[in-house]
Amino acid sequence: MKIVHIADEVIETVWTLLEKGSCTREMVKSAHAGSAGYVVDDEVLGGLEKSGLIHFAGSDISLTEEGRAQAMPIIRRHRLAERLLVDVLGMTFEEMEESACEYEHTLAPGLTEAICTLLGHPRECPHGSPIPEGDCCRRAESSVKTFVKSLDALSIGDEIRITFIRKSDPVLVGKLVSFGVSPGKRLKIRQKFPAYIIQIDNTQIALEQDIAAGIFGLKL
């Protein structure tokens, strides 16, 4: 048996749709059309409005302040779980989706912060959607020691297992991956100045400083 928190599922959908631009009753209903074990119809949506989580304007739906406050940690857990599953556990996008949905309801707050810190307070999920900040991210600036470090926080001779690449330019990320710089790979720092030289398997690659700063891994 599986308990479905319909209100949480719906406000999560509303959040995601609003992020993409717009959210209507029809969009929310069809987003849940294939869901197993529950239905989202006008009655459910009306109930959520009565509980003060969503607001209607014609066919448009928005989140109330309370709705946002309730949805935010769910979105955060879901997207952090995605990062964990893909970057650290090496799952594919398909395998990830189902597990991430489980985690968003079961991760305890302390564990969520630990995962966020382990991952180096990532700002985006693997799909490129923003991860809402938690207390740990605001505290973390530079004082909290994270287990996952970027190349510029490491020394010559250090080895890491790459966990993720934080770069907004997908072309650049694609290029790095084609050189073998991808999550799961072992990387050794050979030189830091005037440019970074890293070694992966038997290949050495020269990188500019700002690119190196966006490559994160677990120190081995």
Which residues of the shown chain bind Zn ion in the complex (CB under 5 A)? 82, 116, 121, 125, 127, 129, 134, 136-137
Least gap, CB of 4 to Zn ion (angstroms): 20
Residue 162 host element (H or E) = strand 159-165
Least gap, CB of 101 to Zn ion (angstroms)? 11
DSSP string, 46-82: HHHHHTTSEEEETTEEEE-HHHHHHHHHHHHHHHHHH
> Whole-number minimum distance, CB 124 to Zn ion, in Å?
8
Place of tokens 């996008």: 93
DSSP letters, 181-208, are --TT-EEEEEE-SSSEEEEETTEEEEE-
85 or 187: whose CB is closer to Zn ion?
85
Closest CB 193 distance from Zn ion, rounded Å: 30
| DSSP run (H or E) holding 211 | helix 209-212
Minimum CB distance to Zn ion, residue 129 (Å): 5
Q: How far is residue 43's CA from residue 165's CA, in Å, rounded to a whole number?
A: 44
Quick check: 10 and 41 in contact, CB under 8 A? no
The smaller minimum CB distance to Zn ion, of residues 48 and 81, is found at: 81
